[in-house]
Amino acid sequence: MKPIILGPTTFLFSLLILTVLLRADSSRAVQAAAGSSPAGAWKTSREAGAPRASAVRNVAVPALTPTAQSAASSPTDPFAPVYIVTSRDTWQGIRGLGREAVTQHDSTGQPLVIAETRADRLGAISEHVHVNERRCGGYFAFPTRAQAEAFVQADRARQAMATSMLAGYTLDNQATVNRWLPQVQEQRLYDTINHLSGYRNRYFASSHGKTSAEWIRTHWQSLAAGRSDITTELFTACSNCGTQPSVILTIPGWDLPNEVVVLGAHLDSINGSNPYDPNQHAPGADDDASGIATLTETLRIALADGWQPRRTVKFMGYAAEEVGLRGSNAIAQAFRASGVNVVSVLQVDMTNYKAGAVTDMKLISDYSNTELKAFFITLFDTYLAPMGLTRGSVACGYACSDHASWTNAGYPAAMMFEAGDPNGSFRYIHTPYDTLATMGESAQHSVKFTQFALAYLGETAKTRGRVTGGPAQVLVMP
């Protein structure tokens, strides 16, 4: 066969085509090799047409970034980098979901890991903690590595767990507490849980997450009708809480206004199987509409009684708990930076599930103030045990709920947790089935937690006379 001889133009054209084909094959080969490792897969997914993080204004948390502002990634970008602080044990189970891990220690000597992950992998991390460690939470989340490192370096957990508070925890307000306990109404608890779980979700980056938080503030305001001394606010100074605010209601103390008592629960929800979809179905009836309902009924009863505290009281609904305790950490760090004297924190996270032969509630034994835990036991044994209720204890692990934010900031915090069942906690959390229907269409188990919260409120904030105003309210739906 005669050789084919190409002209100059044809030769150059053919050479150009060959170059393009070789580059395409090379690119595919590099991507295939990269996809064989976690780090490579990370890079490929970001480069192969994936949206990059968009910059939004970062509201600095004083204790972490007192002067500088950093560009936080948009909460709607699934590939946005997120920097987590977690325990070394948890990291061993999720290391395929992160990279560039660095080991550090908190003030108690606990080995921690700071690592980079992606926003769309937080659900998988939470699912691992839930399924394999049989608990919730498991990490703090930050928009920058610098903030994560500053958080660990400023840790005051050792101080918070061991300190003896000057305020003291005494039992001498039985007249107030005993008047309150019979007033808890299961139907009101049910109505609040039913309303909050009626949102498609309360996810921190969805429109529902914002409107549900605003509804809580409006409803708490209605409970305080006629009380000009009470204020409510939407706390928005959180750099990575999306558009979801935390809610804070404040009742000023009459005798000891600079000593602050906190009652808190988180207001967001999440679906672990579809964690980054703003339209995910996440009713979150137990986790944690039940906690917000417990706080709401506690507030209603105290204000309907015309109660005034000696110490300042703050009821808080925290944003973005399900994605790394973001709202509570922002508040706790801001309070620490401002020198707010928080003398006691109660966390209520999941209060409405019990099945089988288990105790009625469990004291979280770790990452909590020793003196406050002892006081919780005294409160329970004095006010709830005579009703035939029983208690136990359980270790929760690192960063399992919002009390950990207060502990890290150096404040005394503790938590009572729901009974669950013999196999652990409510198996439907973080699913579309976390509903009242799967809890027997009842809020009866939240009644006992409301009674505990009332005992805590009366015996920590105490009583300074009674005033008119704040009548019992009917639940107002938007």
Active site residues: 266, 287, 321-322, 349, 430
Closest Cα partner for 265 from 112, 411, 113, 416? 416
Residue 144 near residue 83 (C-beta atoms within 8 A): yes
- What is d(CA 85, CA 81) in angstroms, rounded to the nearest whole number? 13
Strand-by-strand arrangement of the 361-364 sheet: 231-235, 246-251, 311-318, 256-266, 342-348, 413-418, 361-364, 391-394
For residue 141, give the nearest of 129, 156, 125 by alpha carbon. Answer: 125
> What is residue 436's DSSP assignment?
S
User: Which tokens in the block code for residue 291?
Assistant: 């906690």
Q: Which amino acid is residue 12, in one-letter code? A: L
**What is the end-to-end Cα distance of the chain in Å, rounded?**
86
Query: Strand 81-87 and strand 139-142: pairing?
Result: antiparallel
142 beta partners? 83
For residue 437, the tally of other CB atoms under 10 A from its CB is: 12
Q: Please, which residues have CB within 8 angstroms of residue 312's CB and are 6 or more apart in sequence?
A: 250, 251, 252, 253, 256, 257, 258, 259, 260, 261, 461
Alpha helices in 277-358 (DSSP H): 290-304, 326-338
C-alpha count within 13 angstroms, C-beta hemisphere, residue 274:
9
